[in-house]
Amino acid sequence: MAHKIAVLPGDGIGPEITEQAVRVLSALGLDLEFETAPVGGAAVDALGHPLPPSTLDLAKAADAILFGAVGHWKYDGLARELRPEQAILGLRKALGLFANLRPAILYPELANASSLRPEVVSGLDILIVRELTGDIYFGQPRGVRKAPPGPFEGELQGFDTMHYAESEVRRIAQVGFRAAGKRRHRLCSVDKSNVLETSQFWRDIVIDVAREFPDVELTHMYVDNAAMQLVRAPKEFDVIVTGNLFGDILSDEAAMLTGSIGMLPSASLNASNQGLYEPSHGSAPDIAGKNVANPLATILSAAMLLRYSLDAGALADRVEQAVRAVLRQGLRTDDIFEPGMTRVSTSRMGDAVLEALK
C-alpha cells in the first residue's frame, strides 16, 4: 500500500526547499503518494486561516507530514489565532506530536562555520528531545487579566500557566532514554527545579523512569547552566531531554553550535510514530523565491521521515550519505559558503543530492 505523505510547504522559502525534499523522496523507489496543502500565511491568504480544516484533515490522514516553514512579517499585525505560527502549534496539538527530536550535528566539512573554536565543536553530535505538546506553551489559563490583590492590584497583568502531568513527563522521558540507549548511553534532563514546582515534579518522574533504563546514565542540569555548558563544552552532551519552553531555547542554541541552522532537520512524533518533519530553520522571507535557500535541512528531515515514520532506516542512511557526499564535493548554498567552495542554488543542490543517490 502506498504511504501517504502530506506536503505542507508554507511560507517564504518553504515551497522551494520542500520541493527538493520531495524530489529526493520520489527517487528512492518507494510507493509514495504526495498531497500538498497550504499552511501558515499562505493558508491565511488562500483560505482565511493558518491551519484550515482541509489541511488539518490531510495531515491527520497522512503517514507523515513534510513541513516547510511558516511565518512572514506581513502577518505580524494579525490576531494571535490567525498568525502563521498557530499552524505549527495547532498541528502539534491536534496530532499529539509530543516528541520533538532535534539533532545538532557538526559535519566535518562545515567545521569552520561554527562561531566556536573548531576543537570545541568538531565531532559534535547532540540530540535534543524536546517535549512539544505541553508546558507553558499550552497551559491554561492564560491571557491578560486584572491583577489580584497584592502589589499590582488594579493593574492589567499578562499570565500563562506552566504544568506537566505525570504521563506527559513519563512518555517524553522514555523517548529520551530510548534514544540515548541507541547512542552513547547518556541522558541529561534539563529543568529549573531550584525554582519551579513543575520542574521539581519533572525531575522526580524522570528519576523514576530511569529505573526502566539501567544501561543509560542519567544526569540533571538546570536550564541556565545547560545554556552555559552548551557553549563551554558541548561535546559533553549526548541526549538532552527537556520541556517545551526550555527545549525551544536550547535547540536554537545547539543549532548555532553547528554554525549552520540550514543543515538541521527535526522530527515531531506521536505515540503511533506518525510524524511531522521540518527543517529547524524558519521561513526566511528575505531570500524567498530566489532559489538560494539551503534545502539540506529539509532533505535531512525527509531522511528522518524515512527512518521514523516509514521504518526505512537503510534508505534514510542513503539520503544522509548523499548529503555528506555533496558537502565533500564542495557544493555550498549561500548560508554555508566559504571561499574555495562551489556556490550552488537551491535546485542545483537538490540535483546534486539526487546524483549522489545513484
Give the one entry of ligand IPM, Mg ion, none that residue 89 binds, where binding means its C-beta sits below a cut-off of 5 to 8 angstroms depending on kind. Answer: ligand IPM
Angstrom distances, CA of residue 339 to CA of 288, 294, 297, 331? 24, 17, 22, 11
Report the side by side order of strands in the sheet with 217-222: 32-36, 3-10, 64-69, 275-279, 265-269, 99-105, 125-131, 239-242, 186-191, 217-222
Which one of 248, 253, 334, 351 is in contact with ligand IPM (CB under 6 A)?
A: 248
CB of 85 to ligand IPM, least distance (A): 4
Phi, psi of 281, rounded to the nearest 5 degrees: -85, 175
Q: Measured from the CB atom, is 91 or 322 closer to Mg ion? A: 91
Q: Is 224 a catalytic residue?
A: yes
The answer to whether 335 and 312 have CB atoms below 8 angstroms apart is no
Q: Is 137 a catalytic residue?
A: yes
> Is residue 88 a contact point for ligand IPM (CB under 6 A)?
yes
Q: Measured from the CB atom, is 13 or 319 closer to Mg ion? A: 13
How many residues bind ligand IPM (CB under 6 A)? The answer is 4
Q: Residue 287 has which C-alpha cell?
A: 531570500
CA 295 to chain centre: 15
Which one of 23, 30, 78, 85 is in contact with ligand IPM (CB under 6 A)?
A: 85
Give the one entry of ligand IPM, Mg ion, none that residue 88 binds, where binding means its C-beta sits below a cut-off of 5 to 8 angstroms depending on kind. Answer: ligand IPM
CB of 310 to ligand IPM, least distance (A): 23
Q: Measured from the CB atom, is 100 or 189 closer to ligand IPM? A: 100
In angstroms, rounded to a whole number, what is the distance separating the alpha carbons of residues 282 and 280? 7
Q: Measured from the CB atom, is 70 or 287 closer to ligand IPM? A: 70
Out of 192, 277, 308, 335, pick the active-site residue. Answer: 192
Q: Is 308 a catalytic residue?
A: no
Which one of 217, 248, 253, 334 is in contact with Mg ion (CB under 5 A)?
A: 248
Q: Is 235 a catalytic residue?
A: no
Q: Is 252 a catalytic residue?
A: yes
Out of 160, 248, 334, 351, pick the active-site residue. Answer: 248
The b-or-e profile of 298-335 (16+ CB within 10 A means b, else e) is bbbbbbbbbbbbbebeebbebbbebbeebbeeebbbeb
Q: Measured from the CB atom, is 112 or 140 closer to ligand IPM? A: 140
Within residues 314-353, the interface with Mg ion by CB under 5 A covers: none
The b-or-e profile of 13-45 (16+ CB within 10 A means b, else e) is bbbbbbbbbbbbbeebeeebebebbbbbbbbbe
Phi, psi of 196, rounded to the nearest 5 degrees: -105, 135
Q: Which residues bind Mg ion (CB under 5 A)?
A: 248
Give the residue numbers marked as catalytic: 137, 192, 224, 248, 252
Q: Which residues bind ligand IPM (CB under 6 A)?
A: 85, 88-89, 248
